[in-house]
Structure 1
Amino acid sequence: MSDPSSIDLDFVPFGSTGIQTSELQFGTWRYGKETEAGNVEIDEQRGHELLDAYAAAGGRFIDTADVYGAGKAERWIGDWLAERDRERFTIASKIYWQIRDGDPNSRGNNRKNLSHRLDAILERLDTDYVDVLYVHRWDDATPTREMMRTLTRFVDEGKVHYLGASTLRPNAWKVARANEIARREGWDPFTVLQPRYNLVDREIEGDYLEMSRHYGLALCPWSPLGQGFLTGKYSREEGLTGESRAAESSRFEEAYLTEENFDVHDVLDEVAEEVGATPAQTALAWLTHRDGVTAPIVGARTVEQLEENLAAAQIDLSAEQVRRLTEAKPSPYAGL
């Protein structure tokens, strides 16, 4: 397994923001997450070990959200940052999901909820600002003008540097409309997008990806390994068995363990063997070679898994290999 200190992640332009970001960003959505059996997927000690390994590899972008581990992820990141130079790291968090039972106002992108939640985020992270604040989902109940005006106030107050929108795969027009309103009013627009995107989840390859390129927006995909499907841990013959069946939902099985997706995996395995890499590393390398993709968000349960993922930055795919992987599953918008 690679020594993370030997990987030395590069920096790449972060869309049109003017700053640079690590070519692979680190996601913390498993921090403090409890399984149905009551176990914690990643506890604080393991979380700090993963952050140590990421930083040792030159990683400087940490992605979190206020609902990850019910706030534990942000607190643990804040504790870890307290012993380091905050300015050397780019921190992103997100707001949307309801956090108090029986309180509908603790959900969404309205002014009341955004303002309260941002202050709590900063307190948990023990920092004066976040570099990127994402709306975690779109809130159709809140007028777009109110949302963008509120988000701009955060920038004006110095609490946020850049604005982002997460998980709006089929809604390119909503982002474009929000940005046009912001520009017309002299407010801050969204400059960062965070959709799901990987070899088998290709739904952004229509207006969404074209829109992000047109506006020069940074695009940082989550689930770059298809919730683990692209790591090679599942097979056609066995599907979900034993522990994996207990850990995954039937929705995962229906979405990923399909004949079409296993055909994609066959091509992935072939290319991985050609470049001397694992399927996971090759799937990540494909994303880094895609036009319009800024930096995939990688996560891991163990330091060993993280080191494997980060080593994907060292893999160079040929144009022919990228084409084969891309054509293994047709884009849903092909021919439109």
Structure 2
Amino acid sequence: MTDLEDVDLEFVQLGETGLQTSELQFGTWRFGKETEAGNVEIDEERGHELLDAYEAAGGRFIDTADVYGNGKAERWIGDWLADRDRERYTIASKVYWQIREDDPNSRGTNRKNVRHRVERILDRLDTDYLDLLYIHRWDDQTSARELMKTLNGLVESGKVHYLGASTLRPNAWKVAKANEIARSEGWEPFSVVQPRYNLVDREIEGDYLEMARHYGLAVCPWSPLGQGFLTGKYDREDGLTGQSRAAESSRFEEAYLTEENFDLHDELDAVADEVDATPAQTALAWLVHRDGVTAPIVGARTVDQLEENLAAATIDLSDDQVDRLTEAKQGPYPGL
């Protein structure tokens, strides 16, 4: 097993932006997140420890959103950055989800909401600019033209350098439409996309990845471990009988705890044994080796978990091993 001392994350090209990004990005979605029992998954002290560990491994790309911990994540990142050279780090945040009750304009990507939210993000991070601003989801109430005009204004003002789209479902045509409008008007287009993608969730294979290649977009997947399924903490018997160790939603069980996915996990375990790695590391390594993927976003609750995930960057899978994992569960477009 690889120690963190052996990990030195490399830089990879972030699409056509000219920026270099860490081959594994660090996600902060658990910072300040409260559980149903009222506990905080990651408090500020733990958050800073995780950022320290990521930095020690050579990581320089920090991904957040204004709703993570209701703004706590951004404030904690800003406090952590205060003692460092801001220019050495790439910071990405996101806007979309409603932040004020009974105020429909505090949700979505209308100009009023986006401009207000970006100002608050910069205040919390205590920075003059964002390297990358994502729309967290698509807002069908705001036209693509209005969205891209608003986002271009933020770029021209210097408050944002580059634009991205974080998505749940494959919607290649929406990204393409927005970029065609931006290009026709001489506005800043989307340069990065952040879809869900892992060995189980394969919906972006095909049109979405082809669209990203066509436009030269960086692809930075979230949920690379399938909400924890690919870590190996579930077993076939308990999962399929609905008696999983953790109390999971029925939606999670239907999406992940299936016979097909456990068959895939058997192959994942076999490859992990061959390369002397954990299932989580091997699943991440598959993404790193996957054609069209720029840099997966990893997160963790503890430093030990983060160190395990970051060590995935040192794992070299053979073409045969990548193919075996790819073919263990058929994606929506056979042969891709």
Q: TM-score, normalised by structure 1?
A: 0.97
Deviation at 1:213, TM superposition (A): 1.1
CA distance in 1, matches of 2:168, 2:186: 24
Q: Where does residue 119 of structure 1 map in the other structure?
A: 119
SS of corresponding position for 2:91: strand
Q: Where in structure 2 are there 5+ consecutive unaligned residues?
A: none
1:152 matched to 2:149: no
Residue pairs, 1:36-115, within 5 angstroms? 36-115=36-115
CA contact (8 A) 2:170 2:195 kept: no
Note the C-alpha offset of 1:158: 0.5
Which residue in the other structure is 2:180 paired with?
A: 180
Q: 1:211 to 1:269 in 2, by over 3 A?
A: same
Partner of 2:246: 244
1:193 maps to 2:189: no
Offset at residue 9 of structure 1 (A): 0.3
What are the Cα deviations for residues 34-81 of structure 1, in whole angstroms up to 9, with x where unaligned? 000000000000000000000000000000000000000000000000
Give the whole-Å Cα distance in 1 for the aligned partners of 2:23 and 2:289.
11
How much does 1:249 deviate? 1.5
Query: In the alignment, is residue 268 of structure 1 matched against residue 254 of structure 2?
Result: no
Counterpart residue number, 1:302 = 302
- Match in the other structure for 1:328: 328
CA distance 1:195–1:331, change in 2 (3 Å): same
- Secondary structure, counterpart of 2:238 in structure 1: coil
8 Å CA contact 1:32, 1:40 repeated in 2: yes
Give the unaligned 5+ runs of structure 1: none
> Residues of 1 paired with 2:270 and 2:295: CA distance?
24
Q: Distance in 1 between matches of 2:253 and 2:169?
A: 21
Q: Is residue 231–residue 280 contact of structure 2 (8 Å, CA) maintained in 1?
A: yes
Q: What is the CA–CA distance in structure 2 between the aligned matches of 1:55 and 1:261, rounded to whole Å?
A: 34
- One-letter amino acid of the counterpart of residue 95, structure 2: I
- Which string of whole-angstrom CA distances, capped at 9 and with x for unpartnered residues, describes residues 295-325 of structure 1? 0000000000000000000000000000000
In the comparison of the two structures, how many residue pairs are matched? 334
Identity score, percent: 80
- What SS does structure 2 have at the residue aligned with 1:201? coil
Q: Residues of 2 paired with 1:275 and 1:243: CA distance?
A: 27
Does the 8 Å CA contact 2:25/2:60 hold for their aligned counterparts? yes
* TM-score of the superposed pair, with normalisation by structure 2: 0.97
Shift of 1:106: 0.1
Deviation at 1:6, TM superposition (A): 3.0
Query: For residues 155 and 18 of structure 1, what CA distance do their matches in structure 2 show?
Result: 16
How far apart, CA to CA, are the structure 1 residues paired with 2:173 and 2:89?
A: 32
CA distance in 2, matches of 1:311, 1:165: 28
Q: How far off its partner does 1:334 sit? A: 2.2
Q: Could you tell me which residue of structure 1 aligns to residue 217 of structure 2?
A: 217
Q: How far does residue 243 in structure 1 lie from its aligned partner after superposition?
A: 5.4
SS at match of 1:237: helix
The answer (yes or no) to whether the contact 2:234–2:244 under 8 Å persists in 1 is no
What corresponds to 1:128 in structure 2?
128
> Quick one: distance in 2 between partners of 1:168 and 1:275?
31
SS at match of 1:80: helix
SS of equivalent to 2:124? helix
CA distance in 1, matches of 2:82, 2:95: 23
How many Å apart are 1:133 and its aligned residue?
A: 0.1
Cross-structure match for 2:280: 280
Deviations 1:121-164 (A, max 9, x none): 00000000010000000001001111101100100011001000
Displacement of 1:170 after TM fit? 2.0
Q: Which moved more, 1:316-325 or 1:3-12?
A: 3-12
1:251-304: CA deviations, max 9, x gaps? 111110000000000000000000000000000000000110000000000000
Code of the residue aligned with 2:246 in structure 1: it is S
